[in-house]
Structure 1
């Protein structure tokens, strides 16, 4: 995989100059308020983690420029969560030693579960920005854990609508390639349910190890099976490698994904992105708040933000807004405030809120479709997008899980 660029020296100097040019803020209390950020920064999810870190720091800088949180400067602490055991240990250290006001982040569903168990025990707050598993909103839900990342049901139903319209589900044979860990297993379960409900089926399926880089054996199986559609329930660098090698093999079966991050399409290189995929947000949205975030992020880091950046940026902003509105940093008070349906502008056309029953954010999603290579403007503007899903006349909960699909009973 071609590595995505890290923060350049020039971008860092531009960011520093902008901060120096801003008026000085006099904070009411000398002690900084800390938010602990945990997310994978290495391994197959590492490219997404870098977007998360950059966006969280951008949000913190904007909050501090506007006066901080209740007159206190916001300080972000950043750690690589690595795996569930490390994530649990670092979450505990953030709370007990560093006295953070909240933990934000994560992408790996198993690590998010581990962090959720820690914050429940410690009565701290956790905003999950990248873990999708429906179980985190169902059997493994926690009262002190909220989700700005979409659940698998939302991803599947959002892109599923587009696939139904394209005639790629009813009566079609699907070949599913699925990431072999908690997220992928959960996504495959949700995808099979949606396909069955809409007249489709999974005729063939393979589990893909998370460290796999050579898809040749699976591409040869695809060629032999000749499916009507290939569904990629993959994650992280798996998607990048799959897209590059699928194109190299010259396969022409329609491709769709039930989970996605735009950075992974960018990493595949020019002409290699294809198919239809779901996303929580993308940098081509035209509303004023989205355009400003995209411009600010691009000016500072030399690339547009992608959907993982959107989640971490908004999570930090939501925490700051809530604490400023409450005039309190108490985790339980913030949790209760979010449960009561507080509304937030999250760079979309409609305001969003957290559903009290499972703490999943209710928000629009989008189905994006790859442009033909000749129409792609640059390595970033490579897709067209649906309008917001659900549509303007539908409730935001229309694509979320139902109680029958994922039922949450918060443990005490």
Structure 2
């Protein structure tokens, strides 16, 4: 594994510079190199680290079984520092060395920047986390694929889950960062939560004004005071990563959490319970790209969990592990079907691909390259155990009904 944390700024290789590099010939025995571009610094570094681990676990298992058509897989890592310009520079640098396949990526903004140059680089990008609705709709690019669910699916399924589990919670609030993925979360919630209560209970809910926050904020006291003043009973939380843990800690200290009968999130998985431990609030549903506990009967998931633990990474692999693993499985499946390394061959091989993953059967929808898969949520609370928290309940929801119609090049519409 090669890790480079440098920030490739002013000297980024443009199209003309890239053309000056001789492209290495690819032999049938040469390794298949996959670039993992992800966040290895800051509040999302835990997710980025697990992108690397997930891709490497998949590559190691495939290589041990003989590789893909006799070729080994090699994962090459670069940090994007959550900055689009850094990610673009890293992709250009890797493309100059012959890398044509990219995966990982946490931020929707980074994913958008990378998807915009994939055609120029004759490359494909498969993201394992970025959730912005725009990526497979108005900003769709043919060289871009998403192997996980996204805001429309996650918050749509979560809203249905809340209506099922909390039929009497009728006043809802929301807090979200004023960035693309945060706006996507709120757009879906504003439509799907009332829809779910009408469908399941023939009842109306009251949605209070969204409290918008700065991405990366560390002080939520004013925003929490606003939420308390709204008299809400339920809350959708759009802030993610360590921001979510900080918000929950302050919400507990300031008395907001104890007032709420239900909370659900876009999905920072185990971040909040690992930070807060036995200070976790009640009725907190965390969204997951993949919750391993819901797939104990899945042989692929079982192998990933066992390998994760055997390597000493911990006891609880998160969904970033699972979806990064899925990136590699998708590439391997496409190439085993006869595709080569180039985007000209990989794109048609990936379009409509049906393959087995840690979440069971997954399809990459042909029209917009969006994965059709399960959506996972887990109810997490404090516990008197080694972790200080436990999963009390979980939900494994078919995400297809919430995926929306494929509208590549056109914004997703609700209502």
- Taking structure 2 as the reference length, what is the TM-score of the superposition? 0.83
- Ranges in structure 2 where 5+ consecutive residues have no aligned partner: 1-26, 197-203, 411-415
2:21 alignment partner in structure 1: none
- What's the counterpart of residue 289 of structure 1? 300
Q: Which residue of 2 is the match for residue 264 of structure 1?
A: 271
Aligned position for 1:239: 244
Contact 1:258 1:278 in 2 (8 A): yes
Q: CA RMSD in A?
A: 2.2
In the alignment, the residues of structure 1 paired with residue 59 and residue 337 of structure 2 have an alpha-carbon distance, to the nearest angstrom, of 17
CA distance in structure 2 between the partners assigned to 1:282 and 1:197 by the alignment? 26
Give the conservation status (yes or no) of the 8 Å contact 1:236–1:264: yes
The corresponding residue for 1:144 is: 143
**CA contact 1:243–1:268 (8 Å) conserved in 2:** no
The offset of 1:118, in angstroms, is 0.8
Matched, 1:353 2:363: yes
Matched, 1:190 2:188: yes
Match of 2:179 in 1: 181
**Offset at 1:357?**
1.5
Partner residue of 1:402 out of 402, 405, 413 = 405
Call closer, same or farther: CA 1:256–1:37 in 2, change over 3 Å. Answer: same
Structure 1 CA distance for aligned equivalents of residues 57 and 92 of structure 2: 25
Whether the 8 Å contact between 1:294 and 1:305 is mirrored in structure 2 is yes
Question: Cα–Cα, structure 1 residues 99 and 378, in superposed 2: closer, same or farther, change >3 Å?
Answer: same
Partner of 1:31: 30
Aligned residues: 369
Q: Deviations over 1:167-218 (max 9, x none)?
A: 3587x22221102221111211121122343433431322121221222222
| Structure 1, unpaired ranges of 5+ | 1-27, 391-395
Tell me if 1:66 matches 2:65: yes
Question: In structure 1, how many angstroms separate the alpha carbons of the residues matched to 2:375 and 2:189?
Answer: 17
CA separation of 1:289 and 1:60: change in aligned 2, threshold 3 A? closer
Check the 8 A contact 1:163/1:169 in 2, yes or no. Answer: no
- Asked if 1 retains the 8 angstrom alpha-carbon contact of 2:278 and 2:389, the reply is no
Residue number among 244, 254, 264 corresponding to 2:261 in the alignment: 254
1:33 shift after superposition: 2.2
Distance 1:163 1:327, change over 3 A: closer
**Higher fraction of strand:** 2
Name the residue aligned to 1:278. Answer: 287
Q: Could you tell me which residue of structure 1 aligns to residue 23 of structure 2?
A: none
Q: How far apart, CA to CA, are the structure 2 residues paired with 1:336 and 1:248?
A: 52
The correspondence for 2:335, drawn from 323, 339, 350, is: 323
Query: Contact 1:37/1:105 (CA < 8 Å) preserved in 2?
Result: yes
Residue deviations 1:281-326, cap 9 Å, x none? 1121312332221111121133121011111011112212221231
